[in-house]
């Protein structure tokens, strides 16, 4: 009798209408959440280093500001699968986002109160910020994958990504204008306070909107892959030589970038004396170049292969830090940033495609992408630590140079080290790389590239969101 009621046409229609109602509401709220959360990322991911410089952070502290949050993020992204199996998914995400908003509020209070140990507070809050972001990310992917219908995923995520990109860049540009205006009155600290306050409000609104969204799968799906299963697949994949060499190459290159990445802000704001207007313009040129060239790089990857683009961009990346040593002219460095945007756009897209083609057959790409992201974060951690060590040893190292080799700007030695290591890493990998048989990758309506963040030294970071349709059991 109960079975007949469930299959009655009127009951089915009622269930369909109810599902359509919560689906429309959830997708609408998700778009609003994208705008709110982008207000936070557009500020925190780009002005954290500049804020540390304004707090008079030392060079070793700038290295720690990059290294420690990256390590925490890598650990929490891998632990998220296991930890969230004990909680309701939506509740875990809202709790993580709320804690992240609290960390950003702490940054605002550091800017307002300016305590003597403000840099140490900022580093601790940055660790919490990145740990929460990486804790939430895998669960958010799973949630969105279960909510958005397969036939609408491409259009929905493409539109949501555009909202994210536009909002992030707009907030980033307005933040530079705000800081530049307050800098004229020697009130940059007040500008940072207002920026982080806006970021806190944005993330707080994001947490509330996530709370309003519907989650059809309140608990983890039983019988799914466990954390141990994922590690087992990864361990098995590392027996594949091509995958192992690619993974080591990518993590090592990110580590070499991490050596110099934390110090670009120091070089621009302290050594070159850039205003916040000039600082924002310099970074913005690189970001815009990457945004507008991603589609072109995608066409080249599809037409001539990912290895060609990966090798070409890998040969350009080592040159970029060295170009900063040629001239201090502002417009020359804008040209360098255009070249940086071109190189990073090609490198990011080609390495993502290469990983997709390289993964073992019938493997879950999301798991390998998550592990690749964690390895990259670990590489950045060790690279930033090395950069911080070099920064602390700079006076002794500079004293060893001959009389005519003295440097006006001490961070130049860090840039040179990063450049040389990039050369060695590219020289090791390029002869070993191979042109893979291109798999049938889903088109734009099946795979959506999401811009996760953009940083001064490491370019745009893309996040893969696979939205292919899965066959359902009868």
CA distance linking residue 117 with residue 96, whole number of Å = 26
Statement: 29-216+226-466 belongs to CATH 3.40.190.10: no
- The per-residue pLDDT for 27 is 84
- The per-residue pLDDT for 191 is 96
CB burial class (10 A; 0-12, 13-18, 19+) of residue 248? middle
In sequence order, which residues have a C-beta less than 8 Å from that of residue 6 and are 6 or more positions away?
Answer: none
- The per-residue pLDDT for 90 is 84
- The per-residue pLDDT for 224 is 47
- The per-residue pLDDT for 92 is 86
Give just the sign of the alpha carbon dihedral 198, 202, 208, 209. positive
- The per-residue pLDDT for 373 is 75
Helix H or strand E encompassing 175: helix 150-183
- The per-residue pLDDT for 204 is 95
- The per-residue pLDDT for 412 is 80
Which 3 state secondary structure label does DSSP give 224? coil
Residue 447 region by backbone torsions, left for phi larger than 0, else alpha for psi between -120 and 50, else beta: beta
Residue 471 region by backbone torsions, left for phi larger than 0, else alpha for psi between -120 and 50, else beta: beta
- The per-residue pLDDT for 474 is 38
- CA separation (Å) from 251 to 219, 244, 294? 34, 11, 22
Q: What residue segments make up the domains of the chain, in order of their start? A: 29-216+226-466
In sequence order, which residues have a C-beta less than 8 Å from that of residue 125 and are 6 or more positions away?
Answer: 103, 104, 106, 107, 110
CA distance linking residue 169 with residue 75, whole number of Å = 28
Per run of 10 residues, the mean pLDDT along the chain (length 474 residues) is 53 63 82 90 91 93 91 81 70 92 97 94 96 85 75 71 84 94 92 97 94 72 52 68 84 92 90 92 88 82 84 92 90 94 87 74 59 82 89 74 63 88 93 68 42 48 45 40
- The per-residue pLDDT for 437 is 58
- The per-residue pLDDT for 61 is 92
8 A C-beta contact, residue 459 and residue 286:
yes
């Amino acid at each position: 009798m109960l079975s007949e009621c469930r299959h009655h046409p009127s009951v089915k229609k009622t269930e369909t209408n109810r599902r359509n109602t919560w689906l429309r509401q959830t997708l609408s709220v998700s778009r609003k959440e994208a705008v709110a959360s982008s207000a936070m990322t557009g500020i925190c991911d780009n002005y954290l280093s500049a804020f540390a410089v304004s707090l008079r952070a030392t060079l070793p502290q700038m290295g720690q500001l990059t290294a420690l949050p990256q390590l925490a993020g890598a650990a929490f992204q891998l632990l998220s699968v296991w930890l969230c199996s004990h909680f309701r998914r939506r509740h875990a995400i809202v709790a993580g986002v709320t804690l992240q908003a609290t960390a950003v509020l702490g940054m605002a209070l550091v800017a307002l109160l300016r305590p003597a140990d403000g840099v140490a507070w900022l580093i601790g809050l940055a660790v919490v910020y990145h740990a929460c972001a990486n804790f939430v990310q895998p669960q958010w992917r799973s949630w969105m994958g279960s909510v958005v219908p397969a036939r609408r995923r491409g259009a929905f995520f493409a539109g949501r990504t555009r909202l994210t990109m536009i909002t992030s860049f707009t907030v980033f540009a307005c933040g530079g204008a705000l800081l530049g205006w307050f800098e004229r009155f020697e009130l940059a600290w007040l500008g940072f306070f207002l920026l982080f306050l806006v970021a806190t409000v944005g993330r707080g609104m994001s947490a509330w909107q996530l709370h309003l969204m519907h989650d059809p799968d309140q608990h983890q799906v039983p019988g799914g892959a466990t954390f141990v299963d994922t590690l087992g697949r990864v361990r098995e994949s590392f027996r594949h030589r091509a995958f192992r060499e690619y993974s080591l190459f990518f993590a090592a290159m990110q580590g070499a970038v991490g050596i110099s990445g934390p110090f670009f802000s120091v070089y621009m704001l302290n050594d070159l004396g850039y205003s916040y207007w000039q600082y924002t313009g310099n970074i913005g040129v690189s970001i815009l170049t990457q945004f507008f060239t991603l589609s072109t790089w995608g066409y080249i990857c599809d037409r001539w292969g990912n290895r060609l683009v990966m090798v070409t961009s890998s040969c350009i990346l080592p040159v970029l830090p060295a170009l900063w040593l040629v001239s201090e002219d502002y417009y020359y460095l804008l040209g360098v940033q255009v070249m940086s945007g071109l190189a990073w756009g090609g490198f990011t897209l080609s390495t993502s495609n290469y990983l997709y083609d390289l993964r073992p057959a019938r493997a879950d790409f999301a798991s390998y992408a998550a592990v690749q992201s964690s390895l990259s974060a670990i590489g950045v951690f060790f690279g930033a630590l090395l950069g911080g060590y070099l920064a602390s040893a700079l006076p002794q190292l500079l004293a060893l140079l001959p009389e005519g080799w003295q440097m006006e700007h001490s961070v130049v030695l860090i840039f040179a080290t990063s450049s040389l290591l990039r050369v060695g890493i590219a020289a090791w990998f390029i002869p070993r790389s191979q042109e893979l048989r291109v798999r049938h990758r889903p088109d734009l309506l099946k795979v959506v590239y999401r811009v996760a963040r953009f940083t001064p030294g490491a370019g745009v970071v893309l996040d893969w969101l696979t939205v292919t349709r899965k066959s359902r059991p009868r």
